[in-house]
A and B are shown apart, each in its own frame.
Chain A
Amino acid sequence: MASVAEVKSAIDAAITQINESQAALRAAAEKLAEAQQSLAAALDGSGHEAVGAAQASLFQAATDLEECLAATVAAVEQAQSYAAML
């Protein structure tokens, strides 16, 4: 049977990992926004189907990154609350 300290240790380590993922997600969101701007400027006026598909995918990626970040924030809050009660 694991001790409270071991459960707490696992949760603390998980929070560290989630925090690192958040840093990566924020960096990714920034880089993605820059790439979107750059492509919008370069491909302004293009009606090519592949361009539309690429831009839709980039929009989807940005949305997923945002939602991922929100989910991690909620997970960290819950994990911290639980760890504080141990």
Chain B
Amino acid sequence: MSTIAKLGVRVRSAADALPLDTVTVAVERLRVASELLLAARQHAERPEAVPGVARALEHAEQAGHALRVARERLAAYLTAIGLGSSASPPTEPQPADRAPRVTPSEPPRPRSAAPTEEPDWWTARIAVLTDGPAPRRRADATGDTERLLRQVVAAVRGGDRDELRAALTGAPTPIGLRLTAVTREPLRRLAAEWLGHPPTAADLPRLARATEKRVRALLPGLPRPVLDTLLAWTCHVASEARPAHQPAHPADTPVAGAVLTGVLLRLLGRDPDALAEFMAPSSSSAGGDDTSSSVGKDASSSGGNASSSAGEEPASASAGGEHA
């Protein structure tokens, strides 16, 4: 290989190694943070005390722009010295996987430009997860998380993806994000009732078999690790840590948690109104993760046999639920 060819390889290699993808991730995270802080500011008693990240976002976007310019200049240099045939590396980062990410990157703004309207990332993400259109959200959207969860559960029961999308996109972002916290208790309680005992690691494959297909039918865009992690948590299994460069989208876990709650309720043949009994904290485990005390109560109240089932038959299938 000639000296000039070696130079070309080194320059091309350095240009390819420029961290455009990593900066794009930073920009995406900052955009989401900006939206969240905006939502918090709208409801805070002292909005001026809630920080913004506009300056950080601007610097991150400018860094990305500078990296793209550098890559183009290096390509121009290689062309100038006669190595231009394959010296035009892509100037836009390529997605690392098929898993949908946050909203795509916009062109960098000039430093002096006025801030543009933040993208409605929650609505956009729901559209991706449910594989449908992203309706414009009403600016005065209100509600509470428990009501949203009931709406989601009702949509799951009807197997209606459009209804699910409408419920989720009609809620303000902070209300939607709280679904993670609100579904923690019912997830384990519902799993316990379906299994007939508090969920353990041994129950994970069975619970996954019973729920995955149903969750996927409603959330075809949900990255697989999100549901895996949620099911693992439900069964008290420590899930494998995700690589740092592929964090879950902040909407994924709350939405998946709500849908999984609905799926479990449907497996039990219970009406969405029955959700309340699974959400009420039990007297001995309020605030904790232990579901054992509530299992007996729930199972007995629904006519299920909390200790009878060791196979695929759900413990309370006889109460009208679906078989796994």
Contacts and interface: CB of A to CB of B under 8 A. Distances in A.
Interface string A15-34: 11110111111011001101
A24 B22 contact: yes
A34 B36 CA distance: 34
B59 interface: yes
Question: Among B22, B27, B32, B62, which residue has the most Cβ atoms of chain A within 10 A?
Answer: B22
A6 B18 contact: no
Interface string A36-72: 0011011100001011011101101110110111011
Nearest to A79: B51
B113 interface: no
Given A17-B250, A21-B33, A24-B245, A58 B59 contact: no
Nearest to B79: A50
B10 interface: yes
Contacts, number: 195
Contacts of B25: 20-21, 24
Contact of B70 (A23, A58, A67): A58
Interface residues of A, number: 55
A31 B59 contact: no
B101 to A, nearest CB: 12
Contact of A11 (B7, B18, B40, B73): B40
Given A51-B73, A54-B74, A31 B18 contact: yes
A27 B55 contact: no
Given A7-B174, A24-B26, A61 B63 contact: yes
B67 A61 contact: yes
Given A20-B29, A20-B247, A71-B53, A27 B22 contact: yes
Contact of A13 (B36, B53, B56, B59): B36
Interface stretch (B42-50, B226-234, B307-315): B42-50
A13 B17 contact: no
A78 B40 CA distance: 13
Contacts of B32: 14, 17
A53 B73 contact: yes
B34 to A, nearest CB: 8
A20 B32 CA distance: 11
Contact of A24 (B23, B37, B44, B70): B23
A14 B36 contact: yes
9 smallest beta-carbon distances between A and B, as pairs: A68-B59, A2-B43, A54-B73, A21-B29, A71-B56, A61-B66, A64-B63, A57-B70, A14-B36
13 contacts: A6-B174, A14-B33, A18-B33, A21-B26, A21-B56, A23-B244, A24-B22, A31-B18, A43-B7, A48-B77, A57-B69, A57-B70, A61-B67
